[in-house]
Structures are given as C-alpha cells and as structure tokens.
Structure 1
Amino acid sequence: MCWSATADLVAGSGIAAIGVVTLARTRRVRDLPLASLPLLLGAHQIVESVVWNADGGTGPATLAWAVMALPLLALWVPLGVFCAAPARARARLAAPLAVGVITAAFLAHALAARPVTAEVRGRALGYAVDLPHARLLIAGYLLATVGALLLSGDRTLRLLGALVAAGAVVCVVFWRMEFISTWCAFAALCSVVLLGWAHRPAPPAAQPVPGG
C-alpha cells in the first residue's frame, strides 16, 4: 500500500485521523458504517507498517492485513453504501451487497484454510494467497465494492467509485512493475472525499401540504 514502513505508518495515522473527523461530522446514524471507512483504511496501513518491519513473512500482521483487504472490505463497502442509501435506491444495491456477502465468505474461507505470505519487493510488498477461482473472486470483489459506489445514486459516492477503480488500475500496474506501492495516496484521496460526503448539507425537510 505504501513504499516503506515509515510511509505506511505516517499515511495510516493521517488517514485514521481523517476517519475520526469524518465520524464526528456524520449527521445520520445510517451513514456511520461508510463514514468509518477511512478509519479502517488508516488502520490497514498501520498494520502493513508492521509487515514491513517484519520483512514480510507469514505472521499475524500479514494475516490481519489480508483479512482487512479481502473479506472485510468486500462486505464493508457494499453494506455501508446500502445503509446510507435512500430507500428508493436499495433495490438496485441489493445485488452488489449479495455479491459482497458471498465473495467475503469465500475469501474468509480461503484465508482460514491457506497461508498468506508477504514478500518485500523493492519499494512494494507482494502478498500471496492461493485463492480458488481467483478471477471470479476478483470480479465479485470489484462488483461489490466499486459497483455499489457507482450504483449508489449519490454524486460524491459515484466519484469515489471512479477514483477507486482508477486507483486500482494504477496501483496494479506499478505493483506488477515492482516500482512503488501507491495505494496509500489513493486511500488518502478517497478518505478526503468521504469526509466531504459525511459533511454534506442535510436534505431539506419536506414541506407540509396546505390543508393536509
């Protein structure tokens, strides 16, 4: 996610701080799951700083990183979008949520049954886990997370979905080149977008009908 233990720790602490502010500014209870996403992303990077300091391997920090990155986010994002969405949008969001539940279940089973290893590759960390039907699980993951954001009907959340999709492509390219890990920068940008989303103006109250 970042190019060193120090970068992960600094970025993770900053993103977690944004998460605290985002939660404090959230006006509606049903927005809390999605508003807490920056806090989760910050914690995720802090965990990776521990993986860096251990020079990778298969320790508890590596497993914790994988659990947060794979099954937890696959479920958290579509569930958060579903909770925050107005009632009229929930029918179309049921599909990415269902995909997220199924994908998270398969990912959790894979992590419980197979070891996760991390390897330092220059300025990036490579994680390896033997996922059955990997392409199908990746498709389900993207449909659940990016799909939920794009189908949310909220302009800011659709922007967030586009940023996540673009960030994933850029980060995968750099990671495959073993050049540098850049996801921490996108995580920070996404957290700022969520901060603005949580602090958006409340919708106007419905006006009473005359004579009603």
Structure 2
Amino acid sequence: MCWSATADLVAGVGIAAVGVASVTAVTRAGRGRDLPLAALPLLLGAHQIVESLVWRADGGTGRAITVWAVIALPLLALWVPAAVLCAAPGSARHRLLLPLAVGSVTSAALAYNLATHQVTADIRGHTVGYGIHLSHSGPLITGYLLATVGSLLLSGDRRLVLFGLLAGTGAPLCWALWRLEFVSTWCALAALCSLVLLGWARGRPLSRH
C-alpha cells in the first residue's frame, strides 16, 4: 500500500522490475528451485499495481479489492513458506516443514473468510482502509507471521534472515502509520525487501546440474 494511486503504480512497476531482475539472475544460474522466491517481488509489484486501481475506483467493492485481499492474505501465507522451502539447502528443509504446514492451514482459513464475506475498501486520507472479516483473527495473524516471517528466519540463509528481520520489524511500524491514517509506507517496505531478495538471487551459486 502506498499513499496515492500514482505512488502505488510507480512503486508496483519498480518492484516488479526488481522481480524480473531476480528471476533472470536465478535462471542464468540454473537454479530452478529458487524461482518461486525470486519471483516474489513480481507478486508484490502486482499487488501495488492492483491497489492503484482501488485508489482510482475510490474504494468501495469490486474485483480489484478482492484480488488485493487474495494476494495479501491466503496467497502470501502459502507462497512465502513454500518458496523458502524450495530454495533452502537440504539441511534446513526439515525444520521448514512446520511454517509450511502452518501457512497451508492459515491460507485455507483466510481463503474461506474471503469466500464467505465481502471485502470493502475506503480512502482514508493518504491511506486505503480495508474491511476484511476475519473470524479468530488472533490465531490467523499469528499463523500468518509464523508462516511468512518464521520461514525466512529459519531458512539458514543470511540474506533471507535479513529479509525476515526487515519484514518482522518494519511491518509493525508501517501498520502503526497506517492505523494513524497518516501515510502508508508498506510499498517502501516491499521495495526494500525486494532489493534484499535481488541481492540474494544474484549471490546464488551456479547449479552443478
């Protein structure tokens, strides 16, 4: 989320470009297992672009709002731990099964909530507020963080741990600024995390196969 339609669009295109560079880097290294994680900035960039459409529609309800919520909640809850598991060395994969399991259950619960309740959005100053019904929100938020941030911290990779620390510490600050309806800084956090992923992708060794 950014503070205007234009900011969301510019941030989305920039983050997606970082994703293209990340995917290109791991493809050239012949590391197919790294592709889901390298492609994460593409997903984050698309998320920002979708929100620019929410801004232009002045909130309300509609397809763009639903797509935004699907990416933000069930898709990321499953994508991140699955992608980290794919890219992780064999020694780390056993412990990463737990965040993947938590992410699978959390993703299913979030998808059910979105399927059974309408998502709404309204413009609040320099932020977009989303009306999302979450039954048992506490366990769902905990499960979401364990699946996403937890898998990165357990990856055993220095750059991915840095990514996890950035996400884990930056998200509360962004959330606080968003709740105050002062300005939305999620896009800045997404951009910073995407650059860390680009560094990770470019630093991956060549595949031996």
- Aligned-partner SS, 1:170: helix
Partner of 2:33: 30
Instruction: Determine the C-alpha separation between the residues in 2 that align with 1:178 and 1:204.
Output: 47
Please point out which of 67, 77, 80 is paired with 1:77. Answer: 80
Partner of 2:123: 120
Instruction: Determine the C-alpha separation between the residues in 2 that align with 1:176 and 1:71.
Output: 22
Gaps of 5+ in 2: none
Partner of 2:4: 4
Please point out which of 38, 44, 53 is paired with 2:47. Answer: 44
Alpha-carbon distance change, 201 to 149 in structure 1, aligned in 2, over 3 angstroms: closer
Q: How does 1:124-203 map to 2 (within 5 A)?
A: 124-202=127-205
Q: Report the alpha carbon displacement of residue 172 of structure 1 after superposing the two structures with TM.
A: 0.7
Instruction: Determine the C-alpha separation between the residues in 1 that align with 2:196 and 2:202.
Output: 10
Alpha-carbon distance change, 128 to 191 in structure 1, aligned in 2, over 3 angstroms: same
- Aligned-partner SS, 1:126: strand
Q: Report the alpha carbon displacement of residue 38 of structure 1 after superposing the two structures with TM.
A: 0.3
Instruction: Determine the C-alpha separation between the residues in 1 that align with 2:140 and 2:17.
Output: 32
- With normalisation by structure 2, the TM-score equals 0.96
Q: Report the alpha carbon displacement of residue 158 of structure 1 after superposing the two structures with TM.
A: 0.3
Partner of 1:20: 20
Partner of 2:103: 100
Question: 1:133 is aligned with what amino acid?
Answer: H
- With normalisation by structure 1, the TM-score equals 0.95
Instruction: Determine the C-alpha separation between the residues in 2 that align with 1:185 and 1:201.
Output: 25
Ranges of 4+ aligned residues in structure 1 off by more than 3 Å: none
Question: 1:82 is aligned with what amino acid?
Answer: L
Alpha-carbon distance change, 47 to 201 in structure 1, aligned in 2, over 3 angstroms: closer
Alpha-carbon distance change, 131 to 201 in structure 1, aligned in 2, over 3 angstroms: closer
Question: 1:16 is aligned with what amino acid?
Answer: A
Partner of 1:209: none
Q: Report the alpha carbon displacement of residue 201 of structure 1 after superposing the two structures with TM.
A: 4.4
Instruction: Determine the C-alpha separation between the residues in 2 that align with 1:204 and 1:144.
Output: 27
Instruction: Determine the C-alpha separation between the residues in 1 that align with 2:14 and 2:87.
Output: 25
Count of paired positions: 205
Question: 1:80 is aligned with what amino acid?
Answer: A
For the aligned residue pairs, the C-alpha RMSD in angstroms reads 1.1
Instruction: Determine the C-alpha separation between the residues in 1 that align with 2:109 and 2:205.
Output: 38
- Aligned-partner SS, 2:15: helix
Amino-acid identity (%): 65
Instruction: Determine the C-alpha separation between the residues in 2 that align with 1:171 and 1:117.
Output: 21
- Aligned-partner SS, 2:3: coil
